[in-house]
Structure 1
């Protein structure tokens, strides 16, 4: 199945570890299965300020540099285990379980999308607006 991607002038895309920059507005059609990340979804290291954002950054490294993922995979395993061990929120745990499965199946792009979906839950927990029920903590 072909994937259509539109880029604005100056926008970057990361495909299979290569960085491409469009010098003008362009549409691309990826005809085979490729690992890619749009510049708009790239998190800068200074934005990785929470446990989930750090996890996102680790998975992003795995996606952007697919030839050197051993250290990143080890970091991912340690990070997700730590987050799951300290979290008592059922929704967050379910989401992280899905993320772990996606990464173990080599689906880093989908894992990034799943992590982004959990940012709201994490923000509520960190702000104290989301409380874990006693049955969830047990």
Structure 2
């Protein structure tokens, strides 16, 4: 079964190891085989992997598009995951979901789960910041 792709004007995407850039008009085409596919909005560049959660996403993305170097990315992934769980044990269910998808070689799904980790990571940072502001207000009162 083929996958129908519709690219917006000037949109880019990754198909396999090739970056596709669309022209001025919407384009529609079909992918007939299994190959890694990422739309521009799903691609994280290395310099954007600035937090542990983002690093997890970036490494899963690399596992997806560069399976030849899977072992390297997977080893680094485990190093970061251990650090995250030690710092924030409440992330364990999300990380377990990511790992489950990776073990099944469902990297695109693992990337979706990693987005949940990024969102949760931000929630933890926001909560810590709010607690810090509350503590400062209490001290100055």
TM exceeding 0.5: yes
Structure-1-length-normalised TM-score: 0.80
Q: Is the radius of gyration larger for structure 1 or structure 2?
A: 2
**Greater displacement, 34-43 / 21-30:** 21-30
**Residue deviations 1:48-106, cap 9 Å, x none?**
121101111111122222333221121112212221232221xx211110101111221
Aligned residue runs from structure 1 range 63-78, under 5 A: 63-78=64-79
Question: Larger % of helix: which?
Answer: 2
Q: Secondary structure at the match of 2:127?
A: coil
Inter-partner Cα distance in structure 2 for 1:44 and 1:50: 13
Inter-partner Cα distance in structure 2 for 1:60 and 1:113: 10
Query: Which structure ranks higher in relative contact order (CA pairs < 8 Å, sequence separation ≥ 6)?
Result: 1
The aligned counterpart of 2:6 is: 6
Q: Secondary structure at the match of 1:127?
A: helix
The aligned counterpart of 2:48 is: 47
Inter-partner Cα distance in structure 1 for 2:69 and 2:29: 26
Q: Secondary structure at the match of 2:105?
A: coil
The aligned counterpart of 1:33 is: 34
Q: Secondary structure at the match of 1:81?
A: helix
The aligned counterpart of 1:116 is: 115
